[in-house]
Structure 1
Amino acid sequence: MRNAARVSAETLLILLLLYLFLELLGIAWSVLWPLVVALLLTTLTWPPVRLLRRRGWPPALAASVVTVLFLALVVGIVVLIAVPVSAQAGKLAQGVVDGIETVRDWASGPPLNISDDQVNSGLNSAVDKMQASVGSIANATLSGVSTVVNGLVTTILALFLMFFFLKDGSRFLPWLGRQLPGRLSTDLPEIAARSWNTLGSFVRAQAFVGLLDAIFIGLGLWIVGVPLVLPLAVLTFVTAFVPIVGAVFAGLVAVLIALVFNGWVKALIVLGIILLVQQLEGNVFQPMVQSRGLGLHAAVVLLAVTLGGNLAGIVGSLLAVPVAALVAVIWGYLREQLSDPPVEPDPAPGPAREEAAASE
């Protein structure tokens, strides 16, 4: 009973400390989130910086060039999506109008038999409800504007932090080792180095999965004959880094364009293609690639994403797998350090040992 009480008290103390740690993370999240984004971006941009530095480039110059090229790539992706869409804006608007008219004509016939008076009455009711909830709409709009502003600030901070990580990141671990006493000067830099490699594996795996999504969905859209295939494929790749919402948004855009330009039959075909690819990604591609790159079992990856989504929504889903991988890295290192070295067995008695004993 004493042992059970002692273990229970220690467990409660650990849970209390964990709760306080999570509360501190929530308080400092406005600073930690740009740091996390910067680390994720640094894992993508570090290989070219390392290559340039090995060729004799100064760290500041290599980091500056890669940062500028990264920004140019992001702007190019935005242009690649925006220019074709703007060129088709007139057709897209007319297609939306035609689609609404088609739905209205279908609803006016059997089996629904909705008359124009009923449609107008429904529209009037919707307008009245919108007018009654102007305050809520204004609050939601202000919240959306605040979210956009916070996103821009986070992006700018993350880019600046990425530049400094690229320029001075290689000096961080030696500096950390000099600041810590005793075994910590060896243990923490080693854990940080392993965690960095694991984080890089996660980002590369996510990019590979997004590339597979873009290729398969792009091929499906091209076969069906949906316009704007290249912008939709690029949008699919970019949104693959945002779990759940990214895939839903890209799929919704593709189905909407197919509905506007190709009709509801091909829109349903596109919806089926997207659902098939997303199922393959979530249940086959992503667990297999991430489990190999991170050293985690596919079931652990699925459970981590589910738990992270339930605890923290989109951000939790995004960070669940790397956090699980980092926990596995720390646990593996602690297990290596705490495990006893193997005991070598005594040699079996034989003629050599008997002769040595006789000589003694």
Structure 2
Amino acid sequence: MHEVEGHGGSGRVSGSLPRGVRLASEWAWRLLVIVALAGVVVYLVVVFQDIVVPLMVALLVCALVAPTVGTLRQHRWPKWLAIVVCLVALAAILGGLVLLIVWQVRVGLPQLERESVAAYNRVRDALRQPPFSISDHQLAGYLSQAGAFLQKDSATILGGALKVGTATGHVLTGSLIALFATIFMLIDGRGIWNWIVRIFPRSAKPGLTAAGEAGWRTLTSFVRVQILVAIVNAVGIGLVAFFLGLPLAVPIAVIVLLASFIPVIGAIVSGIVAVAIALVFGGPIQAVIMLAGVLGVHLLEAHVMQPLLVGGAVKVHPLAVVVGVAAGTGLAGVPGALFAVPFLAVANAMITAMLHSHDRPAPIDEHGETETAPHHESEVTEPPGGD
């Protein structure tokens, strides 16, 4: 294939293909390689999710407690003591939430039983009226059919129970992996990151260093902001349930708190649960008030907290958030929905930092080599973990 001189002395182009077609073909195979690599990565993540999920949980926990560990170390606390105190405090907070739910359920169980009977009577009376006009005999028949359906599919239910038992073992194993990974990241996070950077060529080290700093800074900001948003949502919806006199107001608030860590889906599910409880135990008016309260809290989040707080920590377009959450849910269920947004935010920050890494000179250590991590003491801006 002969070569001819391009117009304007811009270089040689193929004599058989126009310049635009050749550029399109070059970009096409590059995109195919990127898509294939992404597909392999996604496949490996799905296959090894029992290991990947605990490691990602460890990263989130590390991003949460690392700033506190850094603050304690600045006050001359030993590293091991700062790590132990932060992890024990986090475990105490989570355990306290669980105990609070159990205590509230036990205290409100008699009232819950009475209100459940009253709610059943209200539903039965409503079904007797037009347009339903369902008699007690028909209602009993429907309940009998539902019981027969459950009995018919008892094997499936039993299989699901067995799967739950197996999942419990996976949860315990994953919890241990997450605990040890968190401890080691807090102890020697910089060393782990430096080891990862050394795998790549020396010319790539400045870009990876900048990417690590930006990604870690974004992850720590995201975790702290998301916790603040979750607390505001939980307190707001919990107060609405409390003033409406609904049972289990505290468990409702805790459900909203936990669900707020899953963008979009968590808000919808927790809102449906709160409105359903208000409808069953309060009535249509209470359900409408609860719906208004849920919408008000989420509007406050969307128009005040998201632009002021979340927008600065997660510089990702809302459409990308929705698509990412949907894709994560389809690939890995609830863990995929939970990690979709921080993954997108960190990936966006790291790619942007790598693209602009040539704008700043890479630091040189005493041996004349490129440094792979910053030497300042800030636990927030360095790659995962300690110094």
Normalising by the smaller structure, the TM-score range is 0.7 to 0.9
Name 1:108's counterpart in structure 2: 128
Residue by residue over 1:175-207, the C-alpha shift from the partner in whole angstroms, topping out at 9 and shown as x without a partner, is 555665523343323322221111111111211
Comparing 51-60 with 272-281, greater Cα deviation is found at 272-281
Letter of the aligned partner of 1:197 in structure 2? Answer: R
- Give the CA deviation at 1:31: 0.9
Instruction: Determine if the alignment matches structure 1 residue 273 to structure 2 residue 296.
Output: no
Matches of 1:177 and 1:69, distance apart in 2: 32
1:36 matched to 2:56? The reply is yes
d(CA) in 2 for partners of 1:115, 1:79 = 43
> Per-residue deviation at 1:340?
11
Counterparts in 2 of 1:231-246, with a 5 A limit? 231-244=251-264, 246=266
Q: Distance in 1 between matches of 2:223 and 2:257?
A: 13
Within the candidate set 278, 282, 286, 1:262 is matched to 282
What secondary structure does 1:114 align onto?
A: coil
Of the structure 1 ranges 34-43 and 245-254, higher mean CA displacement relative to structure 2 is found in: 245-254
Match of 2:186 among 166, 177, 188: 166
Residue in 1 that maps onto 2:367: none
C-alpha contact (below 8 Å) 2:46/2:331 kept by paired residues: no
Question: Per-residue deviation at 1:19?
Answer: 1.9
Contact 1:46 1:166 in 2 (8 A): yes
1:84 maps to 2:104: yes
Contact 1:243/1:314 (CA < 8 Å) preserved in 2?
no
2:163 matches 1:143: yes
Identify if the C-alpha distance between structure 1 residues 8 and 164 changes in structure 2 by more than 3 Å, giving closer, same or farther.
closer
After superposition, the Cα gap between the structure-2 partners of 1:6 and 1:44, relative to the gap in structure 1 and judged at 3 Å, is closer
Letter in 2 for 1:38: A
Query: CA 1:180 to 1:15, structure 2 compared with 1: closer, same or farther past 3 Å?
Result: closer
CA separation of 1:13/1:162 partners in 2, compared to 1, >3 Å: closer, same or farther?
Answer: closer
Q: Paired residue for 1:318? A: 338
Per-residue CA shift, 1:287-335, capped at 9, x if unaligned?
6532212333455444544554455543333222222222322322232
- Deviates most, 217-226 or 52-61: 217-226
Which residue is equivalent to 1:182?
Answer: 202
In structure 1, distance between residues paired with 2:240 and 2:131: 33
Q: Measure, in 2, the Cα distance between the counterparts of 1:156 and 1:71.
A: 14
2:64 matches 1:52: no
Partner of 1:9: 29
8 A Cα contact 2:128 2:134, kept in partner: yes
Which structure has more RCO (C-alpha within 8 Å, separation ≥ 6)?
Answer: 2
Match of 2:95 in 1: 75
> How many residue pairs end up in the alignment?
341
Structure-2 separation of matches of 1:250 and 1:5: 48
Is contact 2:50–2:170 with CA below 8 Å preserved after alignment? no
1:115 CA displacement: 1.4
Q: CA deviation at 1:283?
A: 6.6
2:271 aligned partner, one-letter code: G
Q: Is the 8 A contact 2:229 2:305 kept in 1?
A: yes
Where does structure 1 lack aligned partners over 5 or more consecutive residues? 342-360
Query: What is the aligned-residue RMSD (CA, Å)?
Result: 2.9
Gaps of 5+ in 2: 1-16, 362-387
Q: Distance in 1 between matches of 2:140 and 2:246?
A: 33
Cα distance between partner residues in 2 of 1:22 and 1:47: 31
Structure 1 position 79, deviation (Å): 1.3
Q: In the aligned structure 2, how far is the partner of 1:248 from the partner of 1:14?
A: 34
- Identify the match of residue 177 of structure 2 among 154, 157, 162: 157
Whether the 8 Å CA contact 1:291–1:298 is kept in 2: the answer is no
Q: 2:51 is matched by which residue type in structure 1? A: V
Pair 111,79 (structure 1): closer, same or farther in 2 beyond 3 Å = same
Partner residue, 1:357: none
Q: Using a 3 Å threshold, how does the CA distance of structure 1 residues 12 and 184 change in structure 2: closer, same or farther?
A: closer
Distance 1:139 1:58, change over 3 A: same
Structure with more of its chain in helix, by fraction = 1
Question: Normalised by the size of structure 1, how large is the TM-score?
Answer: 0.82
Determine what percentage of the aligned residue pairs are the same residue. 33
Aligned-partner residue type, residue 138 of structure 1: L
Change in 2 beyond 3 A, CA 1:251/1:14: closer
Which residue does the alignment assign to 1:350?
none
Q: CA distance change for structure 1 residues 246 and 159 in 2, over 3 Å: closer, same or farther? A: farther
Is residue 210–residue 354 contact of structure 2 (8 Å, CA) maintained in 1? Answer: no
Quickly say closer, same or farther: Cα 1:163–1:51, change in 2 above 3 A: same
Contact 1:59 1:167 in 2 (8 A): yes
